[in-house]
Structure 1
Amino acid sequence: MTQHSADAGIIDCDVAIIGAGPAGLTAGYLLTRQGKSVCIIEKDDTYVGGISRTVEHEGYRFDIGGHRFFSKSQQVVDLWNEILPDDFIQRPRMSRIYYEGKFYSYPLRAFEALGNLGLLRSTACMMSYLRYKLFPIKDVKSFEDWTTNQFGKKLYSIFFKTYTEKVWGMPCDEMSADWAAQRIKGLSLWNAVTDGLKRSLGLNRKPNDGQEVKTLLETFRYPRLGPGMMWDAARDKIIASGKGEVLMGHALERLSDDGKSWSITASGPGGTAQIRAKDVISSAPMRELSRRIHPLPQSALAADGLKYRDFLTVALMVKSEDLFPDNWIYIHDDRVQVGRVQNFRSWSPEMVPHEDMACVGLEYFCFEGDGLWTSSDEELVAQATREMEVLGLCDPSKVVSGAVVRQEKAYPVYDDTYEANVAEMRAELERDHPTLHLVGRNGMHRYNNQDHAMMTAMLTVENILAGTRIYDTWCVNEDAEYHEEGDEGEERVIAAREAGSQTRPLDDDQVAALTSLRGVPERIAPPSEPERKRA
């Protein structure tokens, strides 16, 4: 168990964990299961789970972004089942794109999309697609370049540009191509067209419309009361183990490393907590973490260059049995600011307490401090109600009430400098602070899904238990296609060094070099990138 030292009330533990999101709680659960003591600090005073939490308002429950429980890693699936064995339900999945008053399946079904667009625009789309297949942009730098090469300029402008710029708040030609390659790689217009021809001839009955990668599943698993149910259970198991402590409402103020242990200061409602630990796991945003390390790292300036996109959900309670069958709808319409609309009953009927009511969540992407973020809850509920009417999705007279949830730093921004900034901070921390481990979406400034965030924590736990960096956690989701590709649990081991492959330990010389990092005044730098690749 964690020990409260007589030394000024210091909490002594094996591992201090910053952040009680999926990564932090996964690490805490696995460490306590192995007999290690942990102390988790969480800034929120009410909820664990980070962006994967479930908010409750007057009996209604809603997600912050929507979280399907799907993973190709059998180890992640097994862990979910272990933490929450009896509360998963199987739900149909449906998501569509709303464009010019019409709905388009996602991913795009070629004949449906071209039919909705009409003959002239469809012809222009196909000509544009062929033009960029024959003469692609050679120096691909931006999201716009990558998506144009994949789909043609016309389809890019119709189905990608508006929504993507809403999400990120920046022009597509300023966004790194990394985001497109990571999130929509594998979607192929050519496959969709050829599949449509096969289906029209009765030669193909596959349900996912010709995607050679099974990009979207027909059903998914989901906790019956939302994803927060999973992370509440993980927190409770950590505390019940007698080896873990979770300090809610505690914000990280400072952490310092004397070469043998870490000293962490966190401020909370009851005062300041002092924690001493051998290792620290952080899922805090890299920019915020760098400012709190003492002495200030040289890479703090690079970390200050990292940007984040914030997010808010306006939940509307509507007098209606249901409004539409989708789990969510992507809104490609510049008449409104909303980017996506969720239907929480489609996630789980138990999220909505009354059968004659619907609950929808309008998602707005913003920057902390801008006009949307600083609007009052009343103004946002009124705006959401108006926009549902504009889109023809809801009669405003049926809206009974609303609630607003703000989520800061929901998305790490992939601009043209983020990669260099992350690399600089990572290199310094691995060299100077080998017992500080970065995990999760914001901890690594990587657009990880929930299962990928968990994988980084699972591998980090293995590294801590081994006393050395056996696994390169930065290779999780390094070149992965969209996370719903393939079959659930098809990978029997965690993907670490490259997507879809078995994790591989470093060779003996590298392990020896890394082992010597601990307790030695002159710390040896980890192997270079070329050395890791040769391994």
Structure 2
Amino acid sequence: MTTAPEPIDRPTPPVAVIGAGPAGLTAANELAAHAVPVVVLEQDRQIGGLAKTVEYRGFRFDIGGHRFFTRQQTILTLWQSLLGDDLLVRPRQSRILYGGRYFNYPLRLFNTLRNLGIAESCRILVSYLQARLSPIRPEASLADWVTNRFGRRLFELFFKSYTEKVWGISCDEIRAQWAAQRIRGLSLRTAALAMLLPAWRRGGRLRTLTDRFYYPRLGPGMMWDALATRITAAGGMVCLESPVVAIHHDEDRLTRLVSGWGSKRAEWEVSRVIATMPLRTLVRRLIPPPPPEIVAAADRLRYRDFLTVALVVDAPDLFPDNWLYIHDETVRVGRIQNYRNWSVEMVPDRGRSFLGMEYFCFAGDELWEMEDAELVALAKEELVQLGLATAAQVSDGTVVRMPKAYPVYDEGFEEAVSTIRAYLDRFRNLQVIGRNGMHRYNNMDHSMLTGLLAARNLLGENHDPWLVNVDGQYHEEDIG
């Protein structure tokens, strides 16, 4: 951000926040708490974005499984103030299902050795030593990044097939920045230390190896409902089913937004805009339109879409994990959530389980276009194939699709984002935040922090949300 956003000079038209996900609601809450007029425009009929909680016949599930953990005391304090005793502390247990065997994740030495055997373990060690002696330079792709830290053999066993199932492209096409951002600081050496040494000897745990997390008693939706209640109680507005379809501007300011269609069409004169909508969509909504090279850069950005098939299983305690990673190329499911192990109150019947079969896809492809009944049948079949339940035990199911769930870090994305940022920087009353607003695979606390910083900029402070989750400046140290 090279141009500081203009601070609020009340009274003004409202600040418009586009999107009622974690980032947008956090920004709106901070502004409303300081008596700044604010309106949140959300395209969905429910708040929370990717982190929403869906209810189905008394069962609850969230889209992807959202752990609440952070090193930012300001964000943790906000969570605790919103939910109090409803913010549970949960143990993390997750495993990898590979070759019909369960591997602890994070990896544990003796479990891994027992499952792989001495010969395979030796191959992994030799591969690791080769990578340390002759690392790949330059380190351009995810494959390069993981191989340099774990060796080629472990990359092929535990990273390649699952990662390509998730992203739908080769690990050679995924940029190294994704791995550096998501699993920063992890290597075979640090993983081995985590296997062998107690926490007090390691001087604290890596973020990737966090073994406990916070979780709302009835799912993440409790958090967003509490935030929305605060916003409206302070005089702000949260408008659902209000997609922003046009963003009018002059040379250096956004002036007016149009939301909805037909009878639900509304026009909003705005003083400032904080946007969480995908960068690609934001550029396409601008009127007059940007130059062709900016539109081309926006169209260059790609997103991975996601769907959950939630299954009711007439059996308790199917497996002890919060979730399983499925490293099995014979099935299409990538991950399986066990919602009662996140919170028992997600499942109303103690004698049943509620599982989320998670599929990664692109909108418009064969999986995305399947009928809901076909997807439920597929998920049921794969659950049985994996040996996790019998067909007779699966009694019901539902499907939720989530477009643009993950911004893709493929070749050329950085140049495209930089081009768009340089153009958008001319608008002194616009800030972009959150995962899709910045085309950055942030954790939830990072997204909320970008919203908090953007709001505080309008209150007269000076922060750069683009620094969040880059160099640790806002990750390791509290902002106060």
Structure 2 counterpart of 1:30, one-letter code: E
Q: Which residue is 1:253 aligned to?
A: 245
AA aligned to 2:232 is I
For the Cα contact (< 8 Å) 1:195–1:210, is it kept in 2? Answer: no
Q: CA deviation at 1:300?
A: 2.0
For 2:36 and 2:85, locate their aligned partners in 1 and report how far apart those are by CA, in whole Å: 27
Code of the aligned partner of 1:249: E
Report the Cα offset of residue 281 of structure 1: 0.5
Per-residue deviation, 1:13: 3.3
**Cα deviation, residue 220, structure 1:** 1.7
Retained in 2: the 8 A contact 1:265–1:272? yes
Q: Partner letter of residue 264 of structure 1? A: L
Q: Percent identity?
A: 48
Residue 361 of structure 1 aligns with which residue?
356
Q: In the aligned structure 2, how far is the partner of 1:208 from the partner of 1:292?
A: 53
Matched letter for residue 220 of structure 2: P
Render the CA deviation track for 1:101-160: whole Å, top value 9, x for unaligned. Answer: 111111112332132111221111111111111111111110001111111111000000
How far apart are residue 321 of structure 1 and its match? Answer: 1.4
**d(CA) in 2 for partners of 1:322, 1:62:** 17
User: Which residue identity is paired with 2:185?
Assistant: G
8 Å CA contact 2:73, 2:478 repeated in 1: no
Q: Where does residue 332 of structure 1 map in the other structure?
A: 327
Q: Give the equivalent residue in structure 1 for 2:476.
A: 500
- Name the counterpart of 1:181: 180
Could you give the per-residue CA deviations for residues 379-435 of structure 1, whole angstroms, max 9, x where no partner exists?
1111101111111111111001000000000000000111110011111111x2021
Residue type of the alignment partner of 1:384: A
The DSSP-based 3-state class of the residue aligned with 1:13 is coil
- CA pair 220-207 structure 1, distance change in 2 beyond 3 A: farther
Q: Structure 1 pair 441/214, CA: closer, same or farther in 2 (3 Å)?
A: closer
- Which residue of structure 1 aligns with residue 390 of structure 2? 395
- Matched to 2:137, the amino acid is K
From 443, 463, 466, the equivalent of 1:474 is 466
> Given the alignment, which residue of 364, 373, 376 partners 2:371?
376
TM-score normalised by the chain length of structure 2: 0.93
SS in 1 for 2:360: strand
Distance 1:214 1:439, change over 3 A: closer
AA matched with 1:282: A
Q: Which residue does the alignment assign to 1:27?
A: 27
Structure 1 counterpart of 2:459: 465
Residue 419 (1) aligns with residue 395 (2): no
1:284 aligns with 2:277: yes
Any conservation in 1 of the 2:253–2:429 contact (CA below 8 Å)? no
**What does residue 272 of structure 1 align with?**
265
Residues 386, 268 of structure 1: CA spacing in aligned structure 2 closer, same or farther, 3 A cutoff?
Answer: same
3-state SS of 1:262 partner = strand
Per-residue Cα deviation, 1:23-49 (whole angstroms, up to 9, x for no partner): 11111111010000111111012x100
Question: What does the per-residue CA deviation read over 1:432-474, in whole Å, with 9 as the maximum and x for residues that have no partner?
Answer: 20211100000000001110001101110111111x7x21110
Letter matched to residue 216 of structure 2: P
Corresponding position of 1:508: none
Contact kept in structure 2, 1:110 and 1:192, CA below 8 Å:
no
Name 1:521's counterpart in structure 2. none
In structure 2, do the counterparts of structure 1 residues 329 and 459 end up closer, same or farther at CA, with 3 Å as the change threshold?
same
1:451 to 445, 456, 459: 445
- Structure 2 residue ranges without an equivalent (≥5): 1-11
Once residues 329 and 236 of structure 1 are traced to their aligned partners in structure 2, the CA distance between those partners, rounded to angstroms, is: 34
Q: Deviations over 1:247-289 (max 9, x none)?
A: 1111111112235662000115732110011100100000000
Partner of 1:67: 66
Q: How does 1:196-211 map to 2 (within 5 A)?
A: 199=196, 204-206=197-199
Q: CA RMSD in A?
A: 1.9
**SS at 2:271 equivalent:** strand
* Residues 1:234 and 2:234 are matched in the alignment: no
Partner of 2:428: 434
Supply the AA of the counterpart residue of 1:27. Answer: A
Deviations 1:464-493 (A, max 9, x none): 111x7x21110000145xxxxxxxxxxxxx
Contact 2:74–2:479, Cα closer than 8 Å, also in 1: no
The CA distance in 2 between the partners of 1:210 and 1:393, in whole Å, is 38
- Other structure's SS at 1:364 match: strand
In 1, the alpha carbon distance for the partners of 2:437 and 2:368 equals 23
Aligned to 1:41: 41
Query: Normalising to structure 1: TM-score of the pair?
Result: 0.84
Distance 1:40 1:269 in 2: 20
Change (3 A) 1:44 1:94: same
> 1:212: Cα distance to partner?
5.7
Contact map agreement 1:439 1:453 (CA 8 A) in 2: yes
Q: Is the 8 Å Cα contact of residues 255 and 270 (structure 2) preserved in structure 1?
A: yes
Residues 24/214 of structure 1: CA separation in 2 closer, same or farther (3 Å cut): closer
Where in structure 2 are the equivalents of 1:94-243 lying within 5 Å?
Answer: 94-193=93-192, 199=196, 204-206=197-199, 213=206, 215-242=208-235
CA contact (8 A) 1:262 1:280 kept: no
Partners of 2:145 and 2:69 lie apart in 1 by 27
Q: Which amino acid aligns with 1:273?
A: A
2:347 counterpart residue number: 352
Farther-moved stretch of structure 1 (68-77 vs 184-193): 184-193
Q: Tell me how far apart the structure 2 counterparts of residues 307 and 214 of structure 1 sit (CA, whole Å).
A: 27
Greater length-normalized contact order (CA 8 Å, ≥ 6 residues apart): 2
- Aligned partners of 1:208 and 1:216 also within 8 Å: no
CA distance in 2, matches of 1:96, 1:149: 23
Matched residues in 2 for 1:69 and 1:271: separation? Answer: 35
Matched residue SS, 2:137: coil
**Residues of 1 paired with 2:74 and 2:440: CA distance?**
21
Moved more, 151-160 or 12-21: 12-21
Instruction: List alignment gaps of at least 5 residues for structure 1.
Output: 1-11, 481-494, 505-535
- CA spacing shift, 1:193–1:217, aligned 2, 3 Å: closer
Between Structure 1 and Structure 2, whose CA radius of gyration is higher? Answer: 1
- Partner residue in 1 for 2:307: 312
Distance 1:128 1:27 in 2: 47
Change (3 A) 1:207 1:162: farther
Q: Which residue of 1 aligns with 2:338?
A: 343
**Corresponding residue for residue 3 of structure 2:** none
Matches within 5 A, 1:10-21: 13-21=13-21
Counterpart AA for 1:500: E
Q: Distance in 2 between the 1:21 and 1:195 partners?
A: 34
